[in-house]
A and B are shown apart, each in its own frame.
Chain A
Amino acid sequence: MLRIVPRPLVRLVPHGRRTRIAAAALAVVLLGALIVVFTTPGEDPPSVMTHEEFIEVPTAPGSPSQERLDITLYVPDTARETPAPAILLPHGFGGSKRSVARDARELAERGFVVLAYTARGFGRSTGMIALNDPDAEVADASELLDYLAAQPTVQRDADNDPRVAVTGSSYAGALALLLAGTDERVDAIAPVMTYHDLGQSLLPNAARHGRFEPRSPARMLATDDGVFKQGWAGVLFSGGLGAGGIGPTADAPEPGTEEDDVTTADPAPGSQGASGSGPDVGPDAATGARPCGRFAPQICAAYNDLVRDGEASERTLRLLERVSPASVTDRIDIPALLVQGERDTLFGLDQADANARDIHDAGGEVRVVWYAGGHDGGGPGATLRASIADWLAFQLEGPRPPKDNPLPAFRYDVQGTFQATRAPSVRVLTADRYPGLDRDVPAVDQESVRLSGPEQVVINPPGGTPAAISGIPGFTGLADSSARPGLLNVDLPGQSARFSSGEFTEQLLVTGSSTIRLQVTPLPWSGGARGTEGTGPLFVKLYDIGPTGQRTLPGNAVSPVRIPDLRVGETVEVTVSLPPIVRPVQPGHRLELVVATTDRAYTNATQPAAYRIGLAGSGELAVPEVSGEATTSGWPVWQLAGIGGLGLLAVALLAITALRRRRADGVDESLADVPLDITGLTKSYPGGITAVSELSFRAERGQVLGLLGPNGAGKTTTLRMLMGLVTPTSGEMRVFGHRVRPGAPVLSRIGSFVEGPGFLPHLSGAANLQLYWDATGRPADKAHVAEALEIAGLGDAVHRKVGTYSQGMRQRLAIAQAMLGLPELLVLDEPTNGLDPPQIHQMREVLRRYAATGRTVLVSSHLLAEVEQTSTHVVVMHRGKLVADGAVGEIVAAGGEASFVVDKPDEAVAALNDVDGISAVRADGDTVHADLDGLPRSTAVSALVTAGVAVENAGPRRRLEDAFLRLVTSEGQEQ
């Protein structure tokens, strides 16, 4: 009986497994696509070669002595084919060429040739720090332009004139400005968070007598005799001693960045001197013992002058003026991109404003970007860096220059409030002009905010301590992003006067430096014996107060004020510029102006003093407001497009499925009246098991067709295929001429009960039947639920949960469910299992009567007696194959075969073989079978009796039983 099922080669991989492989492949492809979409930066950047060397430059112009500058040239491989514009990339104060390695590599990958170098006095370069002196650092940079002009990979505008731009942060930005003002060969500059006037940056004074009406948003009063910014100055000085860079440690937040991106986005090695100082220390680095480290003597002297009393000597002021870009900005007529931080207590927005005005007046095209960072808040983020690179490419006409200027005339970030899970949100606004740059550009809008508050007396404590805290230089951004905003904002009672606005009813976007007029009256100091001049500094700041009293000092910035010519008891009116900020003041918030006598970031007066402070005039605060438009980059465009794409995909899939479903199956009209016709039905499973093989039979109207076979004969599999649950491997089944497949409408004409009942256990029997019928969607009057329930005969149990039913009850309910809607073909799998004899008897009666109405019943069973008594026709299956089929009577008493039970079988065989017309005689135990071929049975009996064989029993041979028994008993002995 061993059978090898021939299978086509194509099916080497089983169907189910193929489906799974395909599904897995689809999943992998889609997931991969998702990852690619999210993480691909676009096209491959060119590979970048680096070249390091030392370049000799004169110590001073015309001087025979030389200094050695440590440089790295970054050359993208694209520049080897076509010479590319170059970028000169100096570093920030306290850093080295290593601290700009990331920026250099980014620019080189953008296609520029980048020259990064360590400025004199830092790292492995020799020399002394002269703070961007025109004869020192600036002259060095000019020498480097010569070097660039000699590089074959660098594009040239003329002989010894490379096409070059200079960009850099802070100290490097100032160098960019100074070089652009002195060397005609520079084609564009992009200074980032840098200064205009170093004197005003370190010794600011934002007040003066008389009126002040700024036309540009961040223009501040800059009066002489300022207050020394000693906190920052100390940080700078220690940076020059080799304590490390003073640049921010992290990138500023941008739209879409997340907190952990921000805090880990510092891949540049050695950007902090401490981590990279090992091999990067210069030959004469062991200079820590010298009090001024590598600072040039004149710088050292100026610093000493400043820290001694917080006031600058004429010589110091002249030095600061010499090294400030302010000295040359009125000569810069090339395109300039001024990027300044909104969180910068060292070089505020006002510095960029001053640079912008000067360069614009000199004829340079100016773009201004205020971003949500700075010396306190972080360097430009990846998006802004890419924008800067694009702008440089645009101005230098290569590499891959954008068609239009990628930046608007003015762009500023509005930083939202701190969020629970991520970095603060950032919104980017743009304006098509920077207000007030020229006479033809309108001045910035000034919103008038009315402040109120009584005159208040503030004192300056002796020694200047304790002092108010506005921030810690360089660390403010870090502390402010924690869960405790305002931690660093401390005002001391008695030392501060407060003036408040009313609650805002709509949002006010403060964009720049506000202006206020104050009345200041020095009072006699009661505690001291001598009268005081009381010229000590005052610190003016603007708080945003939330409805719950939450105080925020935007940008942590204060305006120091020193008023000359104060006399005790005389009131003076001064105009004060407040620090430029970008701050959305929300509805329900207030603005509060605080005038304090101390601030830790500055040199405070040590002499005690007292002042009466009041608002001048009606107390109007002029707040600049720039109306910008939100850039579209803030909108999640591609995400929305992706969601739309998914929607289209879903619609397309649905349409395809619908079309495929509509594809009509051929109807065989000749079988339109045949309830069931099966031809060549085969079902094999992966692994070679064939449950049904080449099965063919037919059921007619009015028949009770028994499907007989031992367990495992394939009966249930056949019935499952008939219900559309299992897809045949080959062959087909037609019900009333319609092919059966999963979900075929013709299945609605079949009622089925196959392999056990299936009900919702939490519902009653009646509810189950009702819901089942409801689920068919067919008219309720066709269901005959009540009649079916009576056939089930469950009595009141129908209202109990099915979960409490016995096996027999469930079985009856399931048969009743199969009968709902009086199906034309009723398929019952072992319907009498679990029923007792009277119930079995009733069941037979039900089925007989049901078939009598012209319908067809297909009953499967493994019991011969069952089928014999219930069915009119029978199909016998074994091991998935058809063994016999026909009317029960025909099969039970087929042809002329007869069986005789005799005492001597051997003699009986011999006797019967002697009779003419009797054939196929054989013995089977006591029973002898023979084909009588039309002879009456009595003839055979008399032949046997004549031969002396006692006949105990004679009758038709029960072939079905024999066949069936043989099959059942031989189970397991075959194969």
Chain B
Amino acid sequence: MSSEKDTGAAATGGADAASGGETRAAHVDHGVHTDPAALVEFSSAAEHEHAAATPSGAVTGYDARRTLPFGVELRRQFHRRRTHLVLGLAVVVPLLLVLAFELGSDDPDRRSGGFIDLATVSAPNFVVVTLLVSGSFLLPMVVALFFGDTVASEASWSSLKYLLAIPIPRLRLLRQKALVAGSLSVLALTVLPGVALLAGVIWYGADAAISPTGESASFGVSLVNLLLAVAYIIVQLSWVAGVAMFLSVSTDAPLGAVGGAVLATIISLMLDQITALEDLRVVLPTHHARAWTDLLAADVDWSAMATGAFTSLCYATLFGVLAARAFARKDVTS
């Protein structure tokens, strides 16, 4: 505080403070003060410019449908360390797996017939294994992070109220944030297999995919299958997005929202282990999480994937509607 006083007093002298040398600014970067000239400039601008209003009561130039454009929200989110971290993880995990397979024992007698043992056969196989090992936790966590954090972090920064005061209609704010979070999730969910494919091609070669039964699909065909698999995973994870979004508007703690969505995943995975539940497990959102492996067979059975997509979308819709409802009626106090 005292330094502010000092500089405030010292700054009565000059209009040069604003335009002044960088060296000086570097020394006294507490030198916050308003240049009287700036004040005059601002007042005269305010004097000469009086905005008209539209019949809806808005200031001319305001259109609710143009608020918070996709690109703006993307810029707001993309420069966050969290985003860089997740995308970095999506790049590092496949490389980590390559390292693990390189370090691990290469004894063919230890093969037990699963996909894991076929990981190093070819690039498509490596992608399949990467998706299998990251499918239970990493991928849901990525989605939970982007969706759970998006509104809650604004609340924790207190910037949410200023966005709402623009005003950005609440449902539009939620929609734009969901679009951006969705795009970032899709990006991360594509980067991971993309890097895995690249690493696979470099280390294991662009060969045909081999399934544990010895069925093979050519490199080109397996690429299409993998693309469909990623598309299915994206749709399947929509339930995590819905839950995370709902938690995100319900709490001001970003960690709580993300953690809550991850917790929901874990609980669903736990319940799925209990075979005594039998048919009831079908409604668990993670029950069909691995249905995409059906795509690897020559004779694709779509029913499990369709059921998985349907259950996931049910949850996504339910929680999406709840999130919209809660957010539209919420008193924003932070």
Contacts and interface: CB of A to CB of B under 8 A. Distances in A.
Interface of A: 19, 23, 26-27, 30-31, 34-35, 38-39, 255-256, 258, 260, 264, 414, 416-422, 425-427, 482-485, 546-550, 552, 584, 586, 588, 634-636, 639-640, 642-643, 646, 649-650, 653, 657, 661, 667, 720, 723-727, 735-738, 742-750, 752, 754-763, 771-772, 774-779, 782, 784, 787-788, 790-797, 800, 806, 808-809, 812, 817, 819, 821-824, 836-839, 842, 845-846, 849-850, 852-855
Given A420-B115, A758-B157, A762-B80, A547 B167 contact: no
Contacts of A757: 158
B38 A791 contact: yes
Contacts of A777: 62-63, 65-69
Query: Closest 7 A-B residue pairs measured CB to CB?
Result: A550-B214, A636-B306, A777-B66, A758-B158, A483-B113, A745-B58, A790-B38
A792 B34 CA distance: 6
B61 A483 contact: no
Contacts of B215: 417, 546, 586
Contact of A636 (B66, B302, B325): B302
B49 interface: yes
A635 B299 contact: no
Nearest to B111: A483
Contacts of A736: 53, 57
Interface in B297-321: 297-307, 309-311, 313-314, 317-318, 321
Nearest to A425: B301
A58 B162 CA distance: 95
B62 A776 contact: yes
Given A639-B309, A748-B166, A417 B45 contact: no
A256 to B, nearest CB: 5
A746 B298 contact: no
Contacts of A548: 210, 214, 216
B293 A745 contact: no
Contacts of B68: 775, 777
Given A38-B282, A778-B59, A742 B53 contact: no
Given A420-B114, A746-B58, A836-B8, A822 B49 contact: yes
Given A779-B61, A784-B45, A824-B51, A650 B317 contact: yes
Given A420-B115, A661-B169, A806 B333 contact: no
25 contacts: A23-B326, A26-B321, A31-B283, A38-B283, A420-B290, A425-B294, A485-B214, A546-B214, A584-B299, A635-B303, A636-B302, A636-B306, A646-B317, A724-B165, A743-B167, A747-B166, A761-B157, A775-B73, A777-B65, A777-B69, A791-B42, A793-B34, A800-B29, A812-B32, A849-B39
Given A548-B214, A808-B1, 12 more contacts: A39-B279, A419-B294, A642-B310, A653-B321, A748-B62, A749-B58, A759-B157, A760-B80, A760-B157, A771-B76, A839-B32, A839-B33
Nearest to B12: A838
Contacts of B75: 771
Interface stretch (B17-25, B89-97, B102-110, B190-198): B17-25
A742 B72 CA distance: 22
B25 A419 contact: no
B41 to A, nearest CB: 6
Contact of A845 (B39, B157, B282): B39
A795 B59 CA distance: 31
Contacts of A744: 57, 167
Contacts of A746: 53, 56-58
A837 B8 CA distance: 9
B57 A646 contact: no
Nearest to A260: B275
Interface in B259-288: 275, 278-280, 282-283
Contact of B165 (A425, A723, A761): A723
Given A588-B216, A646-B317, A850 B59 contact: no
A187 to B, nearest CB: 35
B321 to A, nearest CB: 6
B59 A724 contact: no
Interface of B: 1, 4-5, 8-9, 12, 17-18, 20, 22, 25-26, 28-35, 38-39, 41-43, 45-47, 49-51, 53-54, 56-59, 61-69, 72-73, 75-76, 79-81, 112-115, 154, 157-171, 208, 210-216, 275, 278-280, 282-283, 290, 293-294, 296-307, 309-311, 313-314, 317-318, 321-322, 324-326, 328-329, 331-333
Given A38-B279, A726-B331, A737 B214 contact: no
A795 B8 contact: no
Contacts of B300: 425
B306 A806 contact: no
A72 B30 CA distance: 95
A836 B58 contact: no
A414 B216 CA distance: 19
Most buried by A among B20, B28, B34, B332: B34
A787 B165 contact: no
The prevalent SS among residues of B at the interface is helix
A334 to B, nearest CB: 36
B32 A792 contact: yes
Nearest to B25: A796
Contact of B307 (A39, A636, A836, A854): A636
Contact of B43 (A417, A427, A661, A850): A850
Contacts of B331: 720, 725-727
Contacts of A39: 279-280, 282
Contact of B32 (A419, A588, A761, A797): A797
Contacts of A755: 158, 161
Contacts of A775: 67-69, 72-73, 76, 163, 166, 168
Contacts of B329: 19, 727
Given A484-B113, A485-B213, A784-B42, A790 B35 contact: yes
Contacts of B318: 26-27, 30-31
A121 B301 CA distance: 45
B210 A748 contact: no
A643 B46 CA distance: 54
B81 A762 contact: yes
B146 to A, nearest CB: 16
A611 to B, nearest CB: 31
Contacts of B63: 777
B176 to A, nearest CB: 9
B49 to A, nearest CB: 6
Given A425-B299, A760-B157, A817-B162, A849 B326 contact: no
A34 B53 contact: no
Contacts of A650: 317
A19 B326 contact: yes
B62 A778 contact: yes
A787 B72 CA distance: 22
Given A636-B307, A643-B309, A758 B35 contact: no
Given A38-B282, A787-B41, A639 B306 contact: yes
Contacts of B72: 771, 774-775
Given A761-B157, A793-B32, A822-B49, A745 B213 contact: no
B269 to A, nearest CB: 14
A790 B18 contact: yes
A777 B62 CA distance: 7
Nearest to B2: A836
A759 B314 contact: no
A417 B211 contact: yes
Contacts of B47: 853
Contacts of A425: 294, 297, 299-301
Contact of A725 (B64, B154, B161): B161
B116 to A, nearest CB: 10
B319 to A, nearest CB: 8
Contacts of A27: 318, 322
B112 to A, nearest CB: 6
A34 B113 CA distance: 36
B43 A416 contact: no
